[in-house]
Amino acid sequence: MSGAPAVRVSIESSCERQVQEVSLDGLETYAPPLSMSQNLAKLAQRIDFGQSSDEDEDGPERDSREQWSKPEAEEDEGMVKFQPSLWPWDSVRNNLRSSLTEMCVLHDVLSVLKDKKYMTLDPVSQDPSVGKTPQVFQLLSKKKSLATAAQLLLRGAEKLTKSVVENQEQRRQRDFNSELLRLRSQWKLRKVGDKILGDLSYRSAGSMFPHHGTFEVIKNTDLDLDKKIPDDYCPLNVQIPSELEGSAYIKVSIQKQSPDIGDLGTVNLFRRQAKAKPGSQMWHLKLEAAQNVLLCKEIFAQLSREAVQIKSQIPHIVVKNQIISQPFPGLQLSISLCHSTGEKKNQRASPDKSKPDDHLYVLEHNLHQLIREFHKQTLSSVVMPHPASAPFSHKRLRMAGPMAYDKAEISSLQQSEGLLEKIIKQAKHIFLRSRTARTIDSLASRIEDPQIQAHWSNINDVYESSVKVLITSQGYEQICKSIQLQLNIGVEQIRVVHRDGRVITLSHQEQELQDFLLSQMSQHQVHAVQQLAKVMGWHVLSFSNHVGLGPIESIGNASAITVASPNGEYAISVRNGPESGCKVLVQFPRSQAKELPKSDVVQDGKWTHLRGPYKEVHWGRMEGRNFVYKMELLMAALTPCP
């Protein structure tokens, strides 16, 4: 033992139990031993209750079965159904045998160790040169091996970082693709070579504007991976044609005609940008703005083409980005295309900034609608040819040849009104309507008696609106409601329908409407007296809407009425004119007149009850807040109490 290197001998007990699990750190878990009840159950399972207890008949079979079931008795739980071994000491015998084996081995090892007769314990031989190497070599070899190990680790780490970077790249790549998918869901895209082009024009919606409207989709690669990705970063960028950059709108406005035509074509007012909807991408905003610019250009091109081609009485002027026309004398309608590229911010300092609400937004909206209507018409199925080999043209125009239409019929089939004419008509109507409203409102505010009320209808047409004008006296609305006018405001004229059935057509002149309303107001007063007389019991002696006597009115005609009291003693005469105002005279019975000379002819006392001379009433000094009230008081005063 001494001198020879030590040999390590390991002894461990034989495994009685099975290894259930070997964990990652080498620890073995054994299956727990069976408890008493489990053991009993296991033994009971081995008993085959179906078999008879006769041993003689199945002797040899049993023996063979025994021999064959012995070697697998230990692991035999699954096969127990076969034939339980009738040898109950089987497991005991096996255990004893295995322990005998182990003991013999131990004995052998100990004898080898002690006697060294036929066998010795020889340790595993070591490399003899290891101990002789100097320390430097050892160091070097250790260094080399460490270096190899380090290299392996570094290579592995490199691979890991590369895969992480690739993942990030892929994620960005996927972002670009998902953005592209979103873009494609809203805009038309196609691939040409290795470029992705898109179409933002209205051509597929029926427009015939020759602009191509192509935009290009480019990948946004100017991103530094080290820095933090900005919030509004988008991996996709669109490049729109340079002439569609910025934003544009069409400005329609009506102004008094400017005396000089020097400064035309320089209208470039710009209003603030529309707020972007949250969540919409930058490319979407850019594309929408470019599409709007294209549409505005198309509208303006169509308008200017029509302005030049269509012959009208007063020619339209087209200067740079503005079209000027004259709907009414003294009035100027200007349609201009305001396009700002968004770079120069100092163009807001424009001289006519004083009227910001000059812009008729309704007409701008209508222009957009009209051009879209025009687009839709080119796409209607009326144009499709039947039979299919015929060229595209309007269905009814194709009949022109076979049915031998003449020029008048053909021109009636063609589009009658262009965009410009339509928009001028609409502008005229809007202007006429606003002026009518202004006239009525100014009269209403200026004149308190009688009152004028205007009820505008909610539902109007682009070319026609209507308003109902009532002239009433305050406090007597139920009695005096004979003047009710329905005004239908058209493009150039106003049609008035009176309650009594008369229809009058007024021109666009503001003065005509005003004069007409004033004359109606004066007539109202006289009508009111008539209605009041009915209520008060007075009798109407005479009534005339248009009196031919007295001073001539410059506006309309004067009206007059004479009413007599219930007992006939008094009479009131009223003459009312738009300009001359009202004149009220009261006729007294002769008995009350002092200056009447006594006559010999008329001697009977009863003749003094007749009405005689007239006396004018100082109407201005009468009590009462309006004419009808004063009249009522007067009538009441002249009616004696019974």
267 closest CA partner among 342, 332, 366, 351 = 351
Taking CB under 8 A as the rule, which mask of x and - marks residues 328-367 in contact with another protein?
----------------------------------------
Q: Give the pair of three-digit tokens for residue 544.
A: 């005339």
Q: Is 373 in the site for another protein (CB under 8 A)?
A: no
- Of 534-553, which residues contact another protein (CB under 8 A)? none
When the beta carbons of 209 and 516 are compared against another protein, the nearer one is 209
**Closest separation in Å from C-beta 250 to another protein:** 25
Alpha-carbon span 484 to 27, nearest angstrom: 109
When the beta carbons of 204 and 474 are compared against another protein, the nearer one is 204
When the beta carbons of 211 and 481 are compared against another protein, the nearer one is 211
Q: Which of 29, 204, 411, 511 binds another protein (CB under 8 A)?
A: 204
Q: Which of 65, 70, 203, 211 binds another protein (CB under 8 A)?
A: 203
576 closest CA partner among 641, 521, 532 = 521
335 closest CA partner among 231, 422, 437 = 422
**Closest separation in Å from C-beta 373 to another protein:** 15
197: helix, coil or strand? strand
323 closest CA partner among 422, 400, 424 = 424
Is 449:461 a contact under the CB 8 Å cutoff?
no
Q: Which of 110, 276, 399, 637 binds another protein (CB under 8 A)?
A: 399
Q: Which of 6, 36, 349, 388 binds another protein (CB under 8 A)?
A: 388
In order, the DSSP letters of 242-283 are GGG-SEEEEEEEEEEPPS--TTTT-----PPPPPPPTT--HH
Is 521:452 a contact under the CB 8 Å cutoff?
yes
When the beta carbons of 97 and 190 are compared against another protein, the nearer one is 190
When the beta carbons of 59 and 385 are compared against another protein, the nearer one is 385
When the beta carbons of 64 and 378 are compared against another protein, the nearer one is 378
The stretch near another protein (CB under 8 A) out of 14-22, 280-288, 397-405, 550-558 is 397-405
For tokens 């006396």, what's the residue?
615
Q: Is 384 in the site for another protein (CB under 8 A)?
A: yes
453 closest CA partner among 480, 428, 429 = 480
When the beta carbons of 394 and 468 are compared against another protein, the nearer one is 394
Q: Is 118 in the site for another protein (CB under 8 A)?
A: no
Taking CB under 8 A as the rule, which mask of x and - marks residues 150-189 in contact with another protein?
----------------------------------------
**Closest separation in Å from C-beta 321 to another protein:** 28
Q: How many residues line the site for another protein (CB under 8 A)? A: 26
**Closest separation in Å from C-beta 380 to another protein:** 8
- Of 182-201, which residues contact another protein (CB under 8 A)? 190
DSSP annotation of 359 = B
Q: Is 71 in the site for another protein (CB under 8 A)?
A: no
| Cα→Cα distances 330→333, 510, 595, Å | 10, 13, 61
Q: Half-sphere exposure of 105 toward its Cβ, with a 13 Å CA cutoff?
A: 12
Q: Which of 3, 402, 548, 605 binds another protein (CB under 8 A)?
A: 402
Q: What angle do CA 476, 482, 484 make, to 5 degrees?
A: 105
Q: Which of 129, 389, 416, 458 binds another protein (CB under 8 A)?
A: 389
**Closest separation in Å from C-beta 211 to another protein:** 13
Q: Is 33 in the site for another protein (CB under 8 A)?
A: no
Is 489:433 a contact under the CB 8 Å cutoff?
yes
Alpha-carbon span 416 to 410, nearest angstrom: 11
Q: Is 390 in the site for another protein (CB under 8 A)?
A: yes
When the beta carbons of 383 and 555 are compared against another protein, the nearer one is 383
Q: Give the pair of three-digit tokens for residue 534.
A: 């009915």
**Closest separation in Å from C-beta 409 to another protein:** 15
473 closest CA partner among 431, 426, 531, 420 = 531
| Cα→Cα distances 181→217, 301, 385, Å | 12, 34, 37
The stretch near another protein (CB under 8 A) out of 300-308, 383-391, 465-473, 581-589 is 383-391
When the beta carbons of 180 and 444 are compared against another protein, the nearer one is 180
Q: Using CA atoms of 439, 442, 448, 449 in order, give the dihedral in degrees to the nearest 10.
A: -20
Is the C-alpha dihedral spanning 291, 297, 298, 303 positive or negative? positive
Alpha-carbon span 76 to 70, nearest angstrom: 9
The stretch near another protein (CB under 8 A) out of 66-74, 97-105, 374-382, 438-446 is 374-382
**387 cis-preceded (ω within 30 degrees of 0):** yes
518: helix, coil or strand? helix
**Closest separation in Å from C-beta 186 to another protein:** 15
493 closest CA partner among 465, 469, 460, 451 = 465
Q: Is 385 in the site for another protein (CB under 8 A)?
A: yes
Q: What are phi and psi of 448, to 5 degrees?
A: -95, -25
Alpha-carbon span 182 to 328, nearest angstrom: 51
Is the C-alpha dihedral spanning 255, 258, 261, 263 positive or negative? negative
Q: How many CB atoms lie within 10 A of CB 586?
A: 18
Q: Is 379 in the site for another protein (CB under 8 A)?
A: yes
- Of 440-469, which residues contact another protein (CB under 8 A)? none
When the beta carbons of 204 and 511 are compared against another protein, the nearer one is 204
Alpha-carbon span 258 to 243, nearest angstrom: 32
- Of 208-267, which residues contact another protein (CB under 8 A)? 208
Q: Give the pair of three-digit tokens for residue 622.
A: 């009468």
**Closest separation in Å from C-beta 392 to another protein:** 7
> Strand 247-256 and strand 322-325: pairing?
unpaired
When the beta carbons of 41 and 205 are compared against another protein, the nearer one is 205
**Closest separation in Å from C-beta 478 to another protein:** 59
**Closest separation in Å from C-beta 311 to another protein:** 23
Q: Which of 65, 398, 422, 583 binds another protein (CB under 8 A)?
A: 398
Q: Is 380 in the site for another protein (CB under 8 A)?
A: yes
Q: Which of 193, 329, 351, 391 binds another protein (CB under 8 A)?
A: 391
Q: Which of 392, 407, 459, 597 binds another protein (CB under 8 A)?
A: 392
Contacting positions for another protein (CB under 8 A): 190, 203-206, 208, 379-381, 383-392, 395, 398-403
